[in-house]
Structure 1
Amino acid sequence: MTTTQNPTKGPVPDGARTRRRGLLLAIAAVVLVAAIVALVLVLNRDNGTSNASASAPTSTARDTSVIPNPPTPSPTGPTSDVDALPTPAAEVPLDSPAAVGNGVVASLTSIEGIQGTANGPGNVAGPAIRVTVHVENGTSAPITLAGAAINMYFGADATPASPLDDPSARPFGIDMIAPGQSADGVYVFSVPADQRDKVTVEVGYEAGAPLLLFSGPVR
Protein backbone atom coordinates (compact mmCIF):
# COMPACT_ATOMS: atom_id res chain seq x y z
CA MET A 1 0.00 0.00 0.00
CA THR A 2 1.39 3.41 -0.96
CA THR A 3 1.41 6.38 1.44
CA THR A 4 1.69 10.16 1.02
CA GLN A 5 4.27 12.00 3.03
CA ASN A 6 2.95 14.85 5.26
CA PRO A 7 5.76 17.10 6.38
CA THR A 8 4.05 17.74 9.73
CA LYS A 9 2.17 14.63 10.62
CA GLY A 10 3.89 12.03 8.56
CA PRO A 11 2.49 9.86 5.81
CA VAL A 12 -1.35 10.11 5.03
CA PRO A 13 -3.04 6.81 4.21
CA ASP A 14 -4.80 6.51 0.84
CA GLY A 15 -8.15 5.80 2.59
CA ALA A 16 -8.04 9.04 4.57
CA ARG A 17 -7.17 10.99 1.47
CA THR A 18 -10.13 9.41 -0.35
CA ARG A 19 -12.51 10.23 2.47
CA ARG A 20 -11.32 13.83 2.56
CA ARG A 21 -11.72 14.19 -1.18
CA GLY A 22 -15.27 12.79 -0.91
CA LEU A 23 -16.08 15.24 1.87
CA LEU A 24 -14.81 18.14 -0.21
CA LEU A 25 -16.87 16.98 -3.18
CA ALA A 26 -19.96 16.67 -1.00
CA ILE A 27 -19.45 20.19 0.38
CA ALA A 28 -18.95 21.52 -3.15
CA ALA A 29 -22.15 19.78 -4.26
CA VAL A 30 -24.13 21.33 -1.36
CA VAL A 31 -22.76 24.77 -2.17
CA LEU A 32 -23.64 24.31 -5.85
CA VAL A 33 -27.21 23.21 -5.04
CA ALA A 34 -27.65 26.15 -2.67
CA ALA A 35 -26.42 28.52 -5.36
CA ILE A 36 -28.82 27.00 -7.90
CA VAL A 37 -31.78 27.29 -5.46
CA ALA A 38 -30.90 30.92 -4.70
CA LEU A 39 -30.68 31.71 -8.42
CA VAL A 40 -34.08 30.10 -9.05
CA LEU A 41 -35.67 32.12 -6.22
CA VAL A 42 -34.22 35.36 -7.56
CA LEU A 43 -35.43 34.60 -11.09
CA ASN A 44 -38.92 33.70 -9.84
CA ARG A 45 -39.10 36.89 -7.79
CA ASP A 46 -38.07 39.07 -10.73
CA ASN A 47 -40.49 37.27 -13.01
CA GLY A 48 -43.33 37.73 -10.52
CA THR A 49 -42.60 41.44 -10.27
CA SER A 50 -42.57 41.72 -14.05
CA ASN A 51 -45.86 39.84 -14.35
CA ALA A 52 -47.46 42.01 -11.68
CA SER A 53 -46.38 45.11 -13.54
CA ALA A 54 -47.69 43.72 -16.82
CA SER A 55 -51.03 42.73 -15.32
CA ALA A 56 -51.56 45.98 -13.40
CA PRO A 57 -54.26 48.13 -15.03
CA THR A 58 -52.89 51.07 -16.91
CA SER A 59 -53.96 54.52 -15.86
CA THR A 60 -56.28 56.24 -18.31
CA ALA A 61 -57.31 59.87 -18.47
CA ARG A 62 -60.62 60.58 -16.76
CA ASP A 63 -63.43 61.44 -19.11
CA THR A 64 -64.10 65.11 -18.56
CA SER A 65 -66.72 65.47 -21.25
CA VAL A 66 -69.81 67.38 -20.19
CA ILE A 67 -72.64 65.13 -19.05
CA PRO A 68 -76.03 66.51 -20.09
CA ASN A 69 -78.20 67.67 -17.23
CA PRO A 70 -80.97 65.21 -16.31
CA PRO A 71 -84.45 66.25 -17.49
CA THR A 72 -86.44 68.37 -15.07
CA PRO A 73 -89.30 66.34 -13.56
CA SER A 74 -92.81 67.44 -14.36
CA PRO A 75 -94.12 69.91 -11.77
CA THR A 76 -96.89 68.60 -9.54
CA GLY A 77 -98.12 71.65 -7.68
CA PRO A 78 -96.95 73.76 -4.75
CA THR A 79 -94.17 72.47 -2.53
CA SER A 80 -94.91 71.68 1.12
CA ASP A 81 -92.40 74.38 2.12
CA VAL A 82 -93.51 77.76 0.80
CA ASP A 83 -90.05 79.16 1.51
CA ALA A 84 -88.40 76.63 -0.84
CA LEU A 85 -87.42 77.90 -4.28
CA PRO A 86 -90.05 76.79 -6.80
CA THR A 87 -89.08 74.61 -9.74
CA PRO A 88 -89.36 76.39 -13.11
CA ALA A 89 -91.25 74.50 -15.79
CA ALA A 90 -90.07 74.26 -19.39
CA GLU A 91 -90.63 77.40 -21.46
CA VAL A 92 -93.59 77.51 -23.84
CA PRO A 93 -94.36 80.04 -26.59
CA LEU A 94 -96.19 83.20 -25.59
CA ASP A 95 -99.38 81.99 -27.26
CA SER A 96 -99.39 78.49 -25.72
CA PRO A 97 -100.91 77.33 -22.41
CA ALA A 98 -98.63 76.10 -19.63
CA ALA A 99 -99.73 73.44 -17.15
CA VAL A 100 -98.48 73.27 -13.58
CA GLY A 101 -99.14 69.52 -13.46
CA ASN A 102 -101.82 69.39 -10.77
CA GLY A 103 -104.72 70.68 -12.87
CA VAL A 104 -103.84 74.38 -12.82
CA VAL A 105 -103.27 75.84 -16.29
CA ALA A 106 -102.13 79.36 -17.16
CA SER A 107 -102.11 81.18 -20.50
CA LEU A 108 -101.45 84.67 -21.82
CA THR A 109 -104.65 85.76 -23.51
CA SER A 110 -103.09 89.06 -24.59
CA ILE A 111 -99.60 90.55 -24.78
CA GLU A 112 -98.91 93.83 -26.57
CA GLY A 113 -96.64 96.85 -26.68
CA ILE A 114 -98.10 100.11 -25.39
CA GLN A 115 -97.00 103.59 -24.40
CA GLY A 116 -97.13 103.32 -20.64
CA THR A 117 -98.43 106.07 -18.41
CA ALA A 118 -96.69 106.86 -15.13
CA ASN A 119 -98.82 106.94 -12.01
CA GLY A 120 -97.37 107.35 -8.55
CA PRO A 121 -93.80 107.83 -7.32
CA GLY A 122 -91.05 105.81 -8.95
CA ASN A 123 -92.98 105.24 -12.15
CA VAL A 124 -91.64 106.49 -15.47
CA ALA A 125 -93.82 106.81 -18.53
CA GLY A 126 -92.55 105.22 -21.73
CA PRO A 127 -92.54 102.09 -23.90
CA ALA A 128 -94.11 99.19 -22.07
CA ILE A 129 -95.66 95.75 -22.54
CA ARG A 130 -99.10 94.89 -21.22
CA VAL A 131 -99.91 91.23 -20.60
CA THR A 132 -103.14 89.54 -19.53
CA VAL A 133 -102.61 86.36 -17.49
CA HIS A 134 -105.41 83.79 -17.40
CA VAL A 135 -105.39 81.08 -14.71
CA GLU A 136 -107.77 78.10 -14.73
CA ASN A 137 -108.38 75.92 -11.69
CA GLY A 138 -108.69 72.33 -12.91
CA THR A 139 -108.24 70.85 -9.44
CA SER A 140 -110.95 69.59 -7.09
CA ALA A 141 -110.28 72.25 -4.45
CA PRO A 142 -110.08 76.04 -4.37
CA ILE A 143 -106.68 77.60 -5.08
CA THR A 144 -105.40 80.88 -3.75
CA LEU A 145 -104.03 83.78 -5.80
CA ALA A 146 -103.03 85.83 -2.77
CA GLY A 147 -99.37 85.07 -3.34
CA ALA A 148 -99.45 85.23 -7.15
CA ALA A 149 -96.26 86.65 -8.68
CA ILE A 150 -96.01 87.84 -12.29
CA ASN A 151 -92.60 88.92 -13.61
CA MET A 152 -91.19 89.86 -17.01
CA TYR A 153 -87.68 89.67 -18.49
CA PHE A 154 -86.35 90.88 -21.82
CA GLY A 155 -83.29 90.54 -24.05
CA ALA A 156 -80.68 87.82 -24.36
CA ASP A 157 -79.49 88.50 -20.81
CA ALA A 158 -83.01 88.20 -19.36
CA THR A 159 -83.00 91.69 -17.90
CA PRO A 160 -85.80 92.12 -15.32
CA ALA A 161 -88.50 94.52 -16.50
CA SER A 162 -89.78 97.10 -14.02
CA PRO A 163 -93.51 96.90 -13.18
CA LEU A 164 -95.38 100.01 -14.26
CA ASP A 165 -98.43 101.30 -12.43
CA ASP A 166 -100.27 102.05 -15.63
CA PRO A 167 -104.03 102.82 -15.37
CA SER A 168 -104.81 99.74 -17.48
CA ALA A 169 -103.10 97.37 -15.02
CA ARG A 170 -105.57 95.18 -13.09
CA PRO A 171 -103.80 92.52 -10.98
CA PHE A 172 -105.79 89.50 -9.85
CA GLY A 173 -108.67 90.92 -7.84
CA ILE A 174 -109.71 87.74 -6.06
CA ASP A 175 -107.93 85.63 -3.48
CA MET A 176 -109.48 82.26 -4.37
CA ILE A 177 -110.49 80.44 -7.54
CA ALA A 178 -113.14 77.74 -7.09
CA PRO A 179 -112.75 74.37 -8.85
CA GLY A 180 -113.61 74.70 -12.54
CA GLN A 181 -113.36 78.50 -12.43
CA SER A 182 -110.75 80.94 -13.79
CA ALA A 183 -109.41 84.44 -13.19
CA ASP A 184 -107.59 87.11 -15.20
CA GLY A 185 -104.98 89.67 -14.21
CA VAL A 186 -103.50 92.49 -16.28
CA TYR A 187 -99.90 93.58 -15.70
CA VAL A 188 -97.74 96.29 -17.31
CA PHE A 189 -93.94 96.35 -17.46
CA SER A 190 -91.51 98.93 -18.85
CA VAL A 191 -89.62 97.37 -21.78
CA PRO A 192 -87.64 99.31 -24.44
CA ALA A 193 -89.21 99.04 -27.89
CA ASP A 194 -85.94 97.84 -29.46
CA GLN A 195 -85.35 95.00 -26.95
CA ARG A 196 -88.39 92.82 -27.47
CA ASP A 197 -86.95 90.06 -29.65
CA LYS A 198 -87.15 87.80 -26.61
CA VAL A 199 -89.57 88.52 -23.81
CA THR A 200 -90.19 86.04 -20.99
CA VAL A 201 -93.24 86.14 -18.73
CA GLU A 202 -92.92 84.27 -15.43
CA VAL A 203 -96.13 83.18 -13.68
CA GLY A 204 -96.24 81.81 -10.14
CA TYR A 205 -99.89 81.49 -9.15
CA GLU A 206 -99.14 80.47 -5.53
CA ALA A 207 -96.16 80.61 -3.14
CA GLY A 208 -94.07 77.45 -3.65
CA ALA A 209 -95.81 76.52 -6.90
CA PRO A 210 -93.72 75.76 -10.01
CA LEU A 211 -92.98 78.81 -12.14
CA LEU A 212 -94.59 78.80 -15.57
CA LEU A 213 -92.48 80.43 -18.29
CA PHE A 214 -93.76 81.94 -21.55
CA SER A 215 -91.18 83.21 -24.03
CA GLY A 216 -91.07 84.77 -27.47
CA PRO A 217 -90.91 88.06 -29.41
CA VAL A 218 -93.33 90.92 -28.84
CA ARG A 219 -93.95 93.35 -31.68
Structure 2
Amino acid sequence: MSDIEERGGTAVEERPSPAAPSSRRRLLLALAAVVLVALVAVSVLVRGDDEEPGGSAAAATQSSTPATETEPSLGSTDPGAQATPPAEDPQPVVDELPPSQPAVPLDQPAAAGDGITASVASVEAIDGTGQGRGNVSGPALRVTVRITNGTDDTADLGGVAVDLTHGSDAVPASPLDDPSQAPFSGSLEPGDSAEGVYVFSVPRDDRDTVTVSVGHRAGAPFMVFTGSAG
Protein backbone atom coordinates (compact mmCIF):
# COMPACT_ATOMS: atom_id res chain seq x y z
CA MET A 1 0.00 0.00 0.00
CA SER A 2 1.24 3.46 -0.81
CA ASP A 3 1.86 6.08 1.92
CA ILE A 4 -1.03 8.08 0.54
CA GLU A 5 -4.38 6.56 -0.06
CA GLU A 6 -7.25 8.07 -1.68
CA ARG A 7 -10.44 8.02 0.40
CA GLY A 8 -13.42 9.57 -1.17
CA GLY A 9 -11.26 11.41 -3.51
CA THR A 10 -9.18 12.92 -0.67
CA ALA A 11 -5.55 12.08 -0.07
CA VAL A 12 -4.89 10.89 3.48
CA GLU A 13 -1.33 10.78 4.98
CA GLU A 14 -0.56 7.73 7.17
CA ARG A 15 0.72 8.76 10.75
CA PRO A 16 3.22 6.72 12.84
CA SER A 17 1.85 4.57 15.62
CA PRO A 18 1.85 6.21 19.14
CA ALA A 19 3.28 3.03 20.73
CA ALA A 20 6.91 3.91 19.85
CA PRO A 21 7.39 6.86 22.29
CA SER A 22 5.89 4.92 25.20
CA SER A 23 8.38 2.07 24.75
CA ARG A 24 11.39 4.43 24.91
CA ARG A 25 10.10 6.09 28.09
CA ARG A 26 9.72 2.77 29.83
CA LEU A 27 13.26 1.81 28.85
CA LEU A 28 14.74 5.03 30.32
CA LEU A 29 12.86 4.58 33.58
CA ALA A 30 14.13 1.03 33.89
CA LEU A 31 17.73 2.15 33.38
CA ALA A 32 17.36 4.90 36.00
CA ALA A 33 16.00 2.39 38.50
CA VAL A 34 18.96 0.07 37.92
CA VAL A 35 21.44 2.94 38.48
CA LEU A 36 19.66 3.99 41.67
CA VAL A 37 19.74 0.44 43.06
CA ALA A 38 23.45 0.20 42.28
CA LEU A 39 24.20 3.49 44.09
CA VAL A 40 22.24 2.38 47.14
CA ALA A 41 24.13 -0.93 47.25
CA VAL A 42 27.51 0.83 47.06
CA SER A 43 26.52 3.24 49.83
CA VAL A 44 25.48 0.35 52.11
CA LEU A 45 28.78 -1.47 51.50
CA VAL A 46 30.89 1.62 52.27
CA ARG A 47 28.97 2.33 55.46
CA GLY A 48 29.37 -1.27 56.57
CA ASP A 49 33.15 -1.05 56.14
CA ASP A 50 33.33 2.16 58.25
CA GLU A 51 31.27 0.69 61.09
CA GLU A 52 33.06 -2.68 61.20
CA PRO A 53 34.51 -3.34 64.75
CA GLY A 54 38.29 -3.05 64.87
CA GLY A 55 38.33 -1.05 61.62
CA SER A 56 40.49 1.93 60.82
CA ALA A 57 38.01 4.42 62.33
CA ALA A 58 37.88 2.56 65.64
CA ALA A 59 41.65 2.21 65.69
CA ALA A 60 42.07 5.93 65.05
CA THR A 61 39.68 6.75 67.87
CA GLN A 62 41.48 4.44 70.28
CA SER A 63 44.94 5.73 69.37
CA SER A 64 43.88 9.39 69.70
CA THR A 65 42.65 8.91 73.29
CA PRO A 66 45.63 8.97 75.75
CA ALA A 67 45.57 6.55 78.66
CA THR A 68 45.30 8.17 82.06
CA GLU A 69 47.64 6.75 84.68
CA THR A 70 48.00 7.62 88.35
CA GLU A 71 51.55 7.70 89.64
CA PRO A 72 52.00 5.85 92.94
CA SER A 73 52.83 7.99 95.95
CA LEU A 74 56.04 7.74 97.92
CA GLY A 75 55.80 5.30 100.77
CA SER A 76 52.37 3.98 99.76
CA THR A 77 51.17 0.92 97.83
CA ASP A 78 47.81 2.53 96.96
CA PRO A 79 47.98 3.69 93.31
CA GLY A 80 45.68 6.64 94.04
CA ALA A 81 47.30 7.80 97.27
CA GLN A 82 48.70 11.30 97.57
CA ALA A 83 52.48 11.66 97.54
CA THR A 84 53.85 12.28 101.02
CA PRO A 85 57.21 14.10 101.26
CA PRO A 86 59.84 12.44 103.47
CA ALA A 87 60.21 13.81 106.94
CA GLU A 88 63.03 16.27 107.36
CA ASP A 89 65.95 15.27 109.50
CA PRO A 90 66.14 17.21 112.75
CA GLN A 91 68.85 19.81 112.99
CA PRO A 92 71.97 18.54 114.74
CA VAL A 93 72.43 19.75 118.28
CA VAL A 94 75.56 21.84 118.66
CA ASP A 95 77.38 21.12 121.90
CA GLU A 96 78.02 24.21 123.96
CA LEU A 97 81.41 24.84 125.52
CA PRO A 98 81.48 24.21 129.26
CA PRO A 99 81.62 27.28 131.50
CA SER A 100 84.94 28.58 132.74
CA GLN A 101 85.92 29.17 136.34
CA PRO A 102 86.92 32.74 137.29
CA ALA A 103 90.44 33.55 136.10
CA VAL A 104 93.28 33.49 138.63
CA PRO A 105 96.84 34.87 138.33
CA LEU A 106 99.38 32.75 136.51
CA ASP A 107 101.16 31.91 139.78
CA GLN A 108 98.02 30.78 141.61
CA PRO A 109 96.25 27.36 141.57
CA ALA A 110 92.72 26.94 140.24
CA ALA A 111 90.02 24.36 141.05
CA ALA A 112 87.61 22.73 138.64
CA GLY A 113 85.04 22.19 141.40
CA ASP A 114 85.04 18.40 141.25
CA GLY A 115 88.21 17.67 143.27
CA ILE A 116 90.67 18.33 140.40
CA THR A 117 93.04 21.30 140.73
CA ALA A 118 95.62 22.75 138.36
CA SER A 119 98.41 25.31 138.33
CA VAL A 120 100.81 26.83 135.80
CA ALA A 121 104.23 25.55 136.85
CA SER A 122 106.17 27.72 134.37
CA VAL A 123 105.94 29.91 131.27
CA GLU A 124 109.16 30.04 129.22
CA ALA A 125 110.06 32.09 126.15
CA ILE A 126 111.78 29.91 123.55
CA ASP A 127 112.60 29.79 119.84
CA GLY A 128 110.19 27.07 118.83
CA THR A 129 111.05 24.46 116.23
CA GLY A 130 108.16 23.49 114.01
CA GLN A 131 107.90 19.86 112.95
CA GLY A 132 105.55 18.53 110.32
CA ARG A 133 103.27 20.27 107.83
CA GLY A 134 101.76 23.59 108.98
CA ASN A 135 104.28 24.14 111.78
CA VAL A 136 106.45 27.24 111.48
CA SER A 137 109.53 27.74 113.64
CA GLY A 138 109.74 31.03 115.53
CA PRO A 139 109.10 32.84 118.83
CA ALA A 140 107.04 30.73 121.20
CA LEU A 141 106.00 30.18 124.80
CA ARG A 142 106.46 26.83 126.50
CA VAL A 143 103.83 26.32 129.22
CA THR A 144 104.09 23.63 131.89
CA VAL A 145 100.81 22.75 133.62
CA ARG A 146 100.49 20.66 136.78
CA ILE A 147 97.27 18.75 137.61
CA THR A 148 96.50 17.24 141.03
CA ASN A 149 93.86 14.57 141.59
CA GLY A 150 92.05 15.38 144.82
CA THR A 151 89.25 12.84 144.24
CA ASP A 152 88.89 9.26 145.45
CA ASP A 153 88.89 7.89 141.89
CA THR A 154 91.49 7.54 139.17
CA ALA A 155 91.43 10.52 136.79
CA ASP A 156 91.85 10.01 133.05
CA LEU A 157 94.35 12.51 131.62
CA GLY A 158 93.79 11.54 127.97
CA GLY A 159 91.11 14.22 127.57
CA VAL A 160 93.07 17.18 128.99
CA ALA A 161 92.94 20.29 126.78
CA VAL A 162 95.27 23.31 127.19
CA ASP A 163 94.74 26.53 125.21
CA LEU A 164 96.47 29.93 125.22
CA THR A 165 95.44 33.41 124.06
CA HIS A 166 97.59 36.57 123.99
CA GLY A 167 97.12 40.31 123.84
CA SER A 168 94.23 42.54 124.91
CA ASP A 169 92.10 41.06 122.11
CA ALA A 170 92.69 37.49 123.37
CA VAL A 171 94.08 36.24 120.06
CA PRO A 172 94.22 32.40 120.05
CA ALA A 173 97.81 31.14 119.86
CA SER A 174 98.64 28.34 117.43
CA PRO A 175 99.98 25.13 119.03
CA LEU A 176 103.51 24.34 117.85
CA ASP A 177 104.72 20.77 117.41
CA ASP A 178 108.01 21.52 119.15
CA PRO A 179 110.25 18.59 120.22
CA SER A 180 110.06 19.71 123.85
CA GLN A 181 106.30 19.38 124.17
CA ALA A 182 104.89 16.55 126.33
CA PRO A 183 101.07 16.61 126.51
CA PHE A 184 99.15 14.85 129.32
CA SER A 185 98.38 11.17 128.83
CA GLY A 186 97.52 8.09 130.85
CA SER A 187 95.73 8.26 134.22
CA LEU A 188 96.30 9.90 137.59
CA GLU A 189 95.76 8.09 140.87
CA PRO A 190 94.01 9.78 143.82
CA GLY A 191 96.32 12.22 145.63
CA ASP A 192 98.93 12.23 142.81
CA SER A 193 100.08 15.05 140.52
CA ALA A 194 101.31 15.07 136.92
CA GLU A 195 102.71 17.66 134.53
CA GLY A 196 102.14 18.33 130.84
CA VAL A 197 104.21 20.60 128.56
CA TYR A 198 102.63 22.60 125.71
CA VAL A 199 104.24 25.00 123.19
CA PHE A 200 102.45 27.91 121.47
CA SER A 201 103.60 30.38 118.81
CA VAL A 202 103.39 33.86 120.40
CA PRO A 203 105.03 37.06 119.05
CA ARG A 204 107.63 38.61 121.37
CA ASP A 205 105.88 42.00 121.38
CA ASP A 206 102.47 40.64 122.41
CA ARG A 207 103.06 38.84 125.70
CA ASP A 208 101.99 41.43 128.24
CA THR A 209 98.73 39.56 128.71
CA VAL A 210 98.46 35.83 128.21
CA THR A 211 95.61 33.55 129.31
CA VAL A 212 95.99 29.80 129.80
CA SER A 213 92.82 27.64 129.93
CA VAL A 214 92.93 24.05 131.21
CA GLY A 215 90.09 21.54 130.83
CA HIS A 216 90.78 18.17 132.44
CA ARG A 217 87.80 16.29 130.88
CA ALA A 218 84.90 16.86 128.53
CA GLY A 219 82.09 18.86 130.14
CA ALA A 220 84.16 20.02 133.14
CA PRO A 221 84.65 23.76 133.69
CA PHE A 222 87.90 25.25 132.38
CA MET A 223 90.44 26.43 134.93
CA VAL A 224 91.74 29.82 133.72
CA PHE A 225 95.05 31.58 134.49
CA THR A 226 96.03 35.04 133.26
CA GLY A 227 99.00 37.37 133.60
CA SER A 228 102.08 38.77 131.90
CA ALA A 229 104.70 36.58 130.23
CA GLY A 230 106.86 39.44 128.92
> Structure 1 length as normaliser, TM-score?
0.61
Aligned match of 1:89: 101
Q: Aligned match of 2:110 in 98, 104, 116?
A: 98
- Is this contact kept in 2: 1:136–1:183, CA < 8 A? yes
Instruction: Supply the distance in 1 between the matched residues of 2:111 and 2:99 (Cα, whole angstroms).
Output: 13
Of 113, 121, 141, which aligns to 2:153?
141
Does the 8 Å contact 2:158/2:185 carry over to 1? no
The 10-residue stretch of structure 1 (143-152 or 197-206) with the greater mean CA deviation from structure 2: 143-152
* Structure number with higher relative contact order (C-alpha < 8 Å, ≥ 6 residues apart): 1
Out of 152, 155, 176, the position equivalent to 1:164 is: 176
Whether the aligned pair in 2 keeps the contact of 1:111 and 1:218 (CA below 8 Å) is: yes
- Equivalent residue for 1:123? 135
Root-mean-square deviation (CA, aligned residues, Å) is: 1.0
Question: How far off its partner does 1:103 sit?
Answer: 1.4
Query: Does the 8 A contact of 1:112 with 1:131 survive in 2?
Result: yes
The partner residue of 1:185 within 183, 192, 196 is 196
Distance 1:120 1:95 in 2: 33
> Deviation above 2 Å: which 4+ runs of structure 1?
none
Distance 1:134 1:98 in 2: 11
Give the conservation status (yes or no) of the 8 Å contact 1:84–1:208. no
1:118 & 1:204 partners in 2: Cα distance? 25
Offset of 1:84 from its aligned partner? 4.5
Matched positions, count: 136
- Aligned equivalents of 1:103, 1:204: Cα separation in 2: 13
Runs (5+) with no aligned partner, structure 2? 1-94
| 1:91-128, Cα deviation, whole Å (9 max, x unpaired) | 00111100112211100111111111111110000000
Answering whether residue 165 of structure 2 is matched by residue 153 of structure 1, we say yes
- Partner of residue 66, structure 2: none
Amino acid at match of 1:195: D
In the alignment, structure 1 segments of 5+ residues that lack a partner are 1-82
SS in 2 for 1:186: strand
Q: Which has the larger radius of gyration?
A: 2
Displacement of 1:148 after TM fit?
1.1
TM-score by length of 2: 0.58
The aligned amino acid for 1:148 is: V
After superposition, residues 4-83 of structure 1 pair within 5 angstroms as 83=95
**What letter is aligned with 1:202?**
S
**Matched residues in 2 for 1:187 and 1:90: separation?**
22
| Identity level (%) | 56
Equivalent AA in structure 1 for residue 212 of structure 2: V
